[in-house]
Structure 1
Amino acid sequence: MSISSSDTPSTYFTILYFAAASDITKKRSETLTAPVHVSQLFTLLDKKYPGLKDKVLCSSAITVNLEYVDVDESMSDEEGLVIKAGDEVAIIPPVSSG
């Protein structure tokens, strides 16, 4: 599921929620104001959806424009990745099989 940049306002990025992230947010996607440093993303989302960080984000994979991001590295690097207008971010919680 991808939203083209022509569908997203020029000052926003799209965030996609999967599995438990979608369950907590009650959304599959939304747009958020850009720019946002990756190190600030979890705090921003946890303010909007209390408990999301501890319940889901701490164990989720994050992609920006279909590229996996090392969140721990980005959080310790002040010069790290900035999510820009038109970018697509995905929150991908771990899945279990049984």
Structure 2
Amino acid sequence: MTTPKPPPGHFNILYFASAGSYTAKNVEALPAPLPLSELFGQLEERYKGIRQNVLDHSLVTINLAYVDVDGDEEGDETKKVVIQEGDEVAIIPPVSSG
């Protein structure tokens, strides 16, 4: 499956596993630029309860590089990370195996 290119002024966010189940979407375009420190707040506004149920336990990548969303609480690099137009963000919840 090929991910559609986001419209001008947007970035794509990909939802995997339980994130996709929670949002009922595999991909969604959001307006850019967006500071990484605001990403979870934006998603919580759209999908009530997603932060506690999915996001707080998930890994996040921007253009296939892992980023630390919680880092902004200590005032470090995360405040400087801004998701740009055309970027690809992925929400990757933990996957259990059996």
Structure 1 distance, partners of 2:72, 2:80, is 5
Task: For residues 12-66 of structure 1, give each alpha carbon's deviation from its aligned partner in whole angstroms, at most 9, with x where no partner exists.
Answer: 0000000000001000001000011111000000000000000000010000000
Mapping of residues 1-98 of structure 1, within 5 Å: 3=3, 7-75=5-73, 76-77=75-76, 79-98=79-98
- Indicate the larger mover: 67-76 or 50-59: 67-76
* Secondary structure of residue in 2 paired with 1:16: strand
* Secondary structure of residue in 2 paired with 1:68: strand
Q: TM-score, normalised by structure 2?
A: 0.89
Structure 2 distance, partners of 1:25, 1:69, is 21
Task: For residues 53-98 of structure 1, give each alpha carbon's deviation from its aligned partner in whole angstroms, at most 9, with x where no partner exists.
Answer: 0000001000000000011224533742100000000000001112
> CA 1:2 to 1:74, structure 2 compared with 1: closer, same or farther past 3 Å?
farther
Q: Which ranges of 4 or more aligned residues in structure 1 deviate by more than 6 Å?
A: none
Q: TM-score, normalised by structure 1?
A: 0.89
Provide the alpha-carbon RMSD of the alignment: 1.7
* Secondary structure of residue in 2 paired with 1:9: coil
What's the CA shift for 1:8?
2.0
What's the CA shift for 1:2?
5.6
Unaligned runs of 5+ in 1: none
